[in-house]
Amino acid sequence: MIKVSVLGYGTVGSGVVEILRENADIITKRTGEEIVVKSVLDLRDFPGDPVQDIIVHDFEEIKNDTEVQIVVETMGGLHPAYEFVKAALESGKSVCTSNKALVAAYGPELLEIAQSHNVNFLFEASVGGGIPIIRPLKISLAPDEILEISGILNGTTNYILTEMTDKGSDFDSVLKEAQEKGYAEKDPTADVEGYDACRKIAILTSLAYGKQLDFEDIYTEGITKITDRDIAYAKEIGAKVKIFGSSKKSGDKVSAMVAPKLITSSHPLYSVDGVFNAILVKGNMVGDVMFYGQGAGKLATASAVVSDIIDEAKHVNVNMKTLWDHEKLALMPLDEVTSKFLVRVKGNRESVQDAVEKAFGKVTPVDAGFDDEFGFVTEEITEGAYAGAAKQVEVINKIRFDA
Ligand code: HSE
């Protein structure tokens, strides 16, 4: 029998307890051992709940409990999650977590501590909720050199962009509706500004290349500037606006970015709508592989956490080495990254087209029916060239075009 402690009885933590109870038979068969929740750490009590008798309020109790072999961190936030996870690993317990902030900030250090104590630190649920992506990247795609990762990594923003596209609603009203339905947080900043997706692509890229990509180094642009007019232009060119966390290998350099992008129906992620997430990975041998599913939600996320518990229960006293060193991954300077851009500038076509072509070179005009502005798509140019050209005209907005 393997005994487990869960830190934090919120949405994901309670989902983990529920899955271990509901699916106990199949989990026992697949693990080869019974997995039992011995204690749950939370500041609150839960009278009437199945865990009411195993709630503890002091982490030291769990740390010093020699029967507990696996600690599940579902508290979220950096502190005290970091201190608790570190102490659990140092006490010889394996840890699994759904906490992307923790993994993005302390991944290599916690993996190193796990290795030196011959235990495991797993984090399948930290990216893509219920979508298996961390284990496939570490194991199934281990034979491949990863050439590219493109992910719709945030359900809230994908929902907002889908509603704006399908119903013509504006950003503010869709966000309000998403908050009312419980999809978006009360403070949606991390989602709509791209910070959530940024941590997720930082984790995936670090695992793909075995080196630390600091999320602070990734150019990150959210969706707050996307308007109904941008959506109208997107429709005019047969495209959808999606926010991507992406990274790409070019020669010996890697570029990474979080930004809204236009994609057309030929793109494999074109049909990923609503709160769903999807990740496209390009390997140099396997080619394109795609992972799709619920990127958030109680049972979906908890299912990924329980997959880690099972893996750890099957690897007691065996460290499954994860290649993710402290050494920093060198990023290609943003100025050198290339893209096509859909650009909207102030002024009608007749008055600004010459200035636009002088600044951007050859462009393809897009008429979305607005006579107070001029929209166009550039050729493939560098970010540096775009920034230089954009200074010469009055840009209303720009969206990168993954065509
Ligand atoms: N706020 C996140 C989302 C939850 O909307 O995708 C999962 O990280």
Ligand 1 pocket by Cβ (under 6 Å): 129, 154-156, 191, 196, 295-296
User: pLDDT (tens digit, 9 = 90+) per residue, 82-129?
Assistant: 999 999 999 999 999 999 999 999 999 999 999 999 999 999 999 999
The token pair that represents 10 in the structure block: 């919120």
The token pair that represents 309 in the structure block: 């518990």
Q: What is the pLDDT of residue 252?
A: 87
Q: Assess whether pLDDT exceeds 80 at residue 183.
A: no
Q: What is the DSSP string of 64-116?
A: T-TTEEEEEE---SSTTHHHHHHHHHHTT-EEEE--HHHHHHHHHHHHHHHHH
* CA 228 to each of CA 123, 223, 240: distance values in angstroms, whole numbers, following the listed order: 37, 12, 12
**Atom number, ligand 1, closest to the C-alpha of residue 301:** 7
* CA 20 to each of CA 49, 51, 62, 298, 358: distance values in angstroms, whole numbers, following the listed order: 15, 12, 19, 13, 64
Average pLDDT, the chain: 97
* CA 33 to each of CA 36, 120, 309, 319, 344: distance values in angstroms, whole numbers, following the listed order: 10, 18, 12, 19, 60
The whole-angstrom separation of Cα 186 and Cα 177 is 11
**Atom number, ligand 1, closest to the C-alpha of residue 157:** 5
Q: What is the pLDDT of residue 243?
A: 98
Q: What is the pLDDT of residue 242?
A: 98
- 196 CA → ligand 1 middle, Å: 7
Q: Assess whether pLDDT exceeds 90 at residue 184.
A: no
The whole-angstrom separation of Cα 286 and Cα 307 is 24
**Atom number, ligand 1, closest to the C-alpha of residue 185:** 1
Q: What is the DSSP string of 350-401?
A: HHHHHHHHHHHSSEEEE--S-TTEEEEEE-SEEHHHHHHHHTTS-EEEEEEE
Burial of 401 (0-12, 13-18, 19+ CB in 10 A): buried
Are the beta carbons of 55 and 48 closer than 8 angstroms? no
The whole-angstrom distance between residue 272's C-alpha and the CA centroid of its chain comes to 15
Q: What is the pLDDT of residue 120?
A: 98
Residue that is written with structure tokens 């005209």 in the block: 393
The token pair that represents 286 in the structure block: 């396997």
Are the beta carbons of 149 and 280 closer than 8 angstroms? yes
Q: What is the pLDDT of residue 167?
A: 95
The token pair that represents 207 in the structure block: 């695992």
Residue that is written with structure tokens 């013509």 in the block: 168
Q: What is the pLDDT of residue 179?
A: 85
| pTM assigned to the model | 0.97
Residues forming beta bridges with residue 362, ordered by sequence position: none
AA letter at 132:
P
AA letter at 362:
K
Residue that is written with structure tokens 């709160």 in the block: 275
| Sign of the four-CA dihedral 84, 86, 90, 95 | positive
Catalytic positions? 200
Burial of 135 (0-12, 13-18, 19+ CB in 10 A): middle
Percent of the chain past pLDDT 70, that is, above it, reads 100
Q: What is the pLDDT of residue 236?
A: 97
Residue that is written with structure tokens 């102490």 in the block: 87
When pLDDT is averaged across residues 290-312 and rounded to a whole number, the result is 96
- 275 CA → ligand 1 middle, Å: 9
